[in-house]
């Protein structure tokens, strides 16, 4: 049987770290879950790593449905989270529900939506109607045109307070998990302590309940500069399977991320 949202909540309550990687196809889905990855995130980062786009903005709902179906077919144990792509969750709650329902029908167990308290009404609408939601705050790549780049969020006192308020509002609205991307480790820790749902970090320090990385990044498949929060797990590994196993072990034991990966 697939890992349930309840099982993930229990891991968080028991202090067991949750290991997450992005996944876009059936073959990797099988490898990842066999390596002990708890959640497969069908991320809209597929726009970058599969499609060669500069941003995640061009990714369509059909793209996400296709890749969610591939990941669902290739796995049987892992929990599947699917991103709602740009333009499909920023609409009325009713329309967001229709879009999310297509991802659920394709095999997702939860959808992920970018945005702070502004999304609370939508999160409440979906979660009251059977669609679990992970809220995504901090660096939200779909808003890159407003953020002005992929930089650390929540650095000023004002931004930090806003982020904490957003987190509380989203949990209250029914979010089942909260992802924080590239925020100061101390702030992510504060949010994690404040909430009772699992928090997921990427570039958010060691204290989140879960860690996620983009699969291609952690396998060393990237060009250009390595982001500070990422580690190439192929270094020192003899195979992809070993790199995945090392990632899961490093997350579960708290060896990753280290302070050098945090802000
Ligand atoms: O799309 C994605 O890969 C993500 C993670 C980086 C959190 O949203
Ligand atoms: Na994403």
Q: What is the DSSP string of 70-86?
A: HHHHH-SSSEEEEEPPT
Q: Residue 211, SS3?
A: strand
Catalytic residues: 181
Looking from the CA of residue 46, the nearest atom of ligand 1 is: 1
Protein residue with its CA nearest to atom 4 in ligand 1:
43
pLDDT confidence of residue 148:
85
Per residue in 170-219, pLDDT tens?
Answer: 999 999 999 999 999 999 999 999 999 999 999 999 999 999 999 999 99
Which pTM value belongs to this model? 0.98
- 225, pLDDT greater than 90: no
Domain extent for 165: 5-261
Please work out whether the CB of residue 59 comes within 6 Å of at least one atom of ligand 1.
Answer: no
Provide φ and ψ at 166, rounded to 5°: -60, -45
Per residue in 94-124, pLDDT tens?
Answer: 999 999 999 999 999 999 999 999 999 999 9
Please work out whether the CB of residue 202 comes within 6 Å of at least one atom of ligand 1.
Answer: yes
**Helix intervals (H) in the chain:** 5-14, 26-34, 46-49, 61-74, 93-105, 120-127, 144-147, 157-173, 185-194, 215-218, 240-253
Per residue in 15-45, pLDDT tens?
Answer: 999 999 999 999 999 999 999 999 999 999 9
Long-range contacts of 7-15 (CB under 8 A, 24+ apart): 7/79, 8/38, 8/39, 8/79, 8/177, 8/198, 9/176, 9/197, 9/198, 11/38, 11/198, 11/209, 12/197, 12/198, 12/209, 12/210
How many domains in the chain?
A: 1
Instruction: Show the tokens assigned to 27.
Output: 């073959």
- Is 45 assigned to a binding site? yes
pLDDT confidence of residue 226:
82
Mean pLDDT of 140-149: 94
pLDDT confidence of residue 198:
99
Q: Domain of 238: which CATH number?
A: 3.20.20.60
Place 223 in a pLDDT band, splitting at 50, 70 and 90: confident
Q: ipTM of this predicted complex? A: 0.99
- 224, pLDDT greater than 90: no
Per residue in 43-78, pLDDT tens?
Answer: 999 999 999 999 999 999 999 999 999 999 999 999
pLDDT confidence of residue 67:
99
Are 27 and 35 in contact, with CB atoms under 8 Å apart? no
Q: How far apart are CA 138 and CA 154, in angstroms?
A: 7
Mean pLDDT of 234-256: 98
- Is 189 assigned to a binding site? no
């Amino acid at each position: 049987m697939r890992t349930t949202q309840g099982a993930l909540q229990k891991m968080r309550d028991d202090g067991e770290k949750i290991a997450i990687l992005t996944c876009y196809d059936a073959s990797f889905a099988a490898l990842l879950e066999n390596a002990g990855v708890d959640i497969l995130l069908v991320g809209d980062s597929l726009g970058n790593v599969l499609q060669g786009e500069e941003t995640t903005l061009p990714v369509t709902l059909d793209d996400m449905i296709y890749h969610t179906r591939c990941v669902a077919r290739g796995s049987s144990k892992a929990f599947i989270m699917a991103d709602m792509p740009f333009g499909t969750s920023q609409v009325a709650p009713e329309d967001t529900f229709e879009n999310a329902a297509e991802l659920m029908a394709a095999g997702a167990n939860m959808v992920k939506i970018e945005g702070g308290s502004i999304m609370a009404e939508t999160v409440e609408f979906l979660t009251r109607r059977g669609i679990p939601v992970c809220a995504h705050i901090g660096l939200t790549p779909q808003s890159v045109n407003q953020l002005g780049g992929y930089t650390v969020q929540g650095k000023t006192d004002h931004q930090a307070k806003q982020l904490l308020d957003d987190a509380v509002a989203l949990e209250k609205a029914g979010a089942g998990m909260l992802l924080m991307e590239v925020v100061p480790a101390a702030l992510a820790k504060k949010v994690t302590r404040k909430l009772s749902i699992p928090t997921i970090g990427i570039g958010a320090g060691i204290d989140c309940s879960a860690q996620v990385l983009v699969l291609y990044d952690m396998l060393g498949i990237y060009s250009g500069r390595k982001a500070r929060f990422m580690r190439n797990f192929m270094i020192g590994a003899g195979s992809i399977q070993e790199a995945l196993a090392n990632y899961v072990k490093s997350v579960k034991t708290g060896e990753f991320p280290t302070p050098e990966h945090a802000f």
